[in-house]
Amino acid sequence: MLFKDVMVDDSIKESLINLVKSNRVSHAQLFLCSPGNHSFALAVAYAQYLSCQNRGEHDSCGVCPSCLKFEKLSHPDFHLIFPNVAKNSNDKDYNSKKWLPEFREYVFENNYHISLNSWLKELGGENKQATINIRDCGNIVEQNSIRAYEGGYKIYLLWMVERLYHAAAPKLLKTLEEPENKTLFILMTENPDNILSTIKSRTQYIKIPPLSETTIAQHLQQELEVSEETARDIASISEGNYVKALTFAHDNKEQEEMLHYFECFFNGVLANDGKRPLNQVKFFEVRAVIEKIGKLGRESQKNFVQYMGRMLRNILLINTNNEALVKATHEERDLLNFYKTRVTVFNAKPLMEECNKAHYHIERNGNTSLIMTDMFLKMSTILAS
């Protein structure tokens, strides 16, 4: 991976390049990543640059033997460690090495735009408790006692280190504390709060922010040949996450459904002011939407309440003349404008709280139908008062 093909700000690339040029590479660095921001590609480009035999001012050469091995993620001194599970019920000594061929293929297929969720699916199911386990840590310690095969840096990339099994951490700590010469640990995380403080305190932080809307829109146009308007629409609702943007671009059916569900649900909430009968509230339509949402998976159910929260926030922004801050597609904007007087600085907070509460209960496997009906009634009361 060359720096030129990594989709992050040039300033971040430059700061890593300068660390290498000025010989200030700290032996353990923690990459604080935002979801979907091409940070894995950045980490590989950095490792490749450090190992390149013919480094340029701004990038690796791309053609030396070391670079060619990096292109295949098969450099013998570059070790990939990532969350993994047993391959089958007899597999007792599973670790990252066993999954390496699948992991490489997954990375290449997705152009280095990888996420924990999609990797868990590759492993065979979202709910699998994948970890970086004690055997992975053992392999690192063992590897660390051997000389680098090619005489350069030994580099360990621990992707999603928040999944490090806590009981395995002590094995790693000593190695992190007293590394061999020319050893680099790149730890990557999206949830630094879930990392042991003993690990964090041994690392230098590198923050990699979410991608800008402009960057996302430009890449969508280049890679998928979508129109400028569509690219901007998608970028605006992707929260700096290119993986999310790609999902929206490939399949906007879920987005369309969310918009439709929101419209139906919120119309009901607004009509249910306590002064008219339920048939005028179209409560049966609301019930039908609740039922449909109940049949979706937990992730999609959570997506819906998050979507609702985003829509309400957008309505408030329009109502308070902060249109520039609105994150919405053109289609959504039309509907948001229609509702623009309904969400105010007085009712926005309690309305959002209902969304947060629903999200909390869905996450804990509550009954979706009850949760959504409760949210409907509470929101009606808030808006009618």
The least CB distance from residue 55 to Zn ion, in Å, is 7
61 touches Zn ion by CB under 5 A: yes
What is the edge-to-edge ordering of all strands in the sheet holding 154-158? 78-81, 154-158, 183-189, 28-33, 204-208
| Residue number, 58 or 207, with CB nearest to Zn ion | 58
User: Measured in whole angstroms, how far is the alpha carbon of residue 373 from the centre of its chain?
Assistant: 30
User: What phi, psi does 28 have (nearest 5°)?
Assistant: -140, 120
The least CB distance from residue 201 to Zn ion, in Å, is 34
Task: Return the residues of window 163-202 that contact Zn ion according to CB under 5 A.
Answer: none
42 touches Zn ion by CB under 5 A: no
67 touches Zn ion by CB under 5 A: yes
Contacts of 370 (CB under 8 A, 6+ apart): none
Evaluate whether 206 touches 16 at the Cβ level (below 8 Å): yes
The least CB distance from residue 78 to Zn ion, in Å, is 13
CA distances to 204, 262, 281, 326, 353 from 311, in Å: 38, 8, 21, 9, 14
Contacts of 305 (CB under 8 A, 6+ apart): 355, 358, 359, 362, 375
| Residue number, 50 or 245, with CB nearest to Zn ion | 50
Evaluate whether 34 touches 208 at the Cβ level (below 8 Å): yes
Binding Zn ion (rule: CB under 5 A), the pick from 29, 37, 39, 60 is 60
380 touches Zn ion by CB under 5 A: no
Binding Zn ion (rule: CB under 5 A), the pick from 16, 33, 52, 211 is 52
The least CB distance from residue 56 to Zn ion, in Å, is 9
Binding Zn ion (rule: CB under 5 A), the pick from 32, 64, 243, 296 is 64
Give the number of other Cβ atoms within 10 Å of residue 94's Cβ. Answer: 17
Number of residues in contact with Zn ion, rule: CB under 5 A? Answer: 5
The least CB distance from residue 51 to Zn ion, in Å, is 8
| Residue number, 184 or 335, with CB nearest to Zn ion | 184
| Residue number, 67 or 375, with CB nearest to Zn ion | 67
Q: Which residues bind Zn ion (CB under 5 A)?
A: 52, 60-61, 64, 67
